[in-house]
Amino acid sequence: MTRELVRQAALRLADAGVASPDFDAAELLAHVLGTTRSRLGLVDAVTPEQAETYDALVTRRAAREPLQHLTGSAAFRYVELAVGPGVFVPRPETELLAGWAVEQAAAVVAAGRVPVVVDLCTGSGAIALAVATEVPTAEVHAVELGDPAVEWAARNLSGTGVDLRHGDMADAFPDLDGTVDVVVCNPPYIPLDAYESVAPEARDHDPELALFSGQDGLVAMRVVERVAARLLVPSGVVGAEHADAQGSSAPAVFVATGRWSDVRDHADLAGRSRFVTARLAR
């Protein structure tokens, strides 16, 4: 019975233009039944009430409401994050940037020091939580400007020891100037004129504050560059995500100032340009 329910739901989602209809259909049914996708085949029966709940969720997903809003959670590396309206849903591509930050923090630990890590534009707290979980000795700080988003971050980071602050990254953490080993950020980077090309899940449900960044999409990246230069120790590192079309323009933000060495761009698992890293030269 579950297989037929998922099949019919997947057809509806595919017709609605959902990018991963089979996955989403199975994930929603598993959510309703309180199980996992891999164990759906072990479910003997679905009650009429469960089927009705499932149909309502599939209808909402077909209207392009994000899957994670419907289930209330998003997987990110080794953690689960609570997400919903008002906060940017973390994407799988960002896991690579988080992994880079984890590696950089771990390298500081290997050198015999406590790493200080700052996550700018933390959103749900995804990167900060990943670093705090995977490098438990790290001193992790995070900042978020959006009012609803910072509430989600507070929920996700509660009890972790992460220092979460509510404010603009542009003037955040003056008390940490010159003391930070790793700055990491998934900033807004969509150009304003690309509004119509953004998937409905993001355009209609993610906060605009987390998506759009001026005419060229790099306004926030320039802020990241300035803030990182202020926060980092000499030879400290910064990593920031960008759009796949910004594989040259995002690194150029760092190169242009003359403050950075080892400016590199990194591809995601699909081979698309995804994030830039740089080392403070002074």
- Residues flagged as binding site for S-adenosyl-L-methionine: 144, 186
Residue ranges of the binding site: 144, 186-189
Residue ranges of the binding site for substrate: 186-189
* Residue 10, amino acid: A
Helix (H) or strand (E) holding 79: strand 79-82
In sequence order, the 6+-apart residues with CB closer than 8 A to the CB of 192 are 212, 214, 215
Q: Which tokens sit at 240? A: 């920031």
**CB-count burial class (<10 Å; 0-12, 13-18, 19+) for 176:** middle
- Measure the CA–CA gap between 77 and 192, rounded to whole angstroms: 30
CA 279 to chain centre: 22
What is the number of H-type helices and E-type strands within the chain? 10, 9
**Alpha-carbon torsion (195, 241, 164, 83), positive or negative:** positive
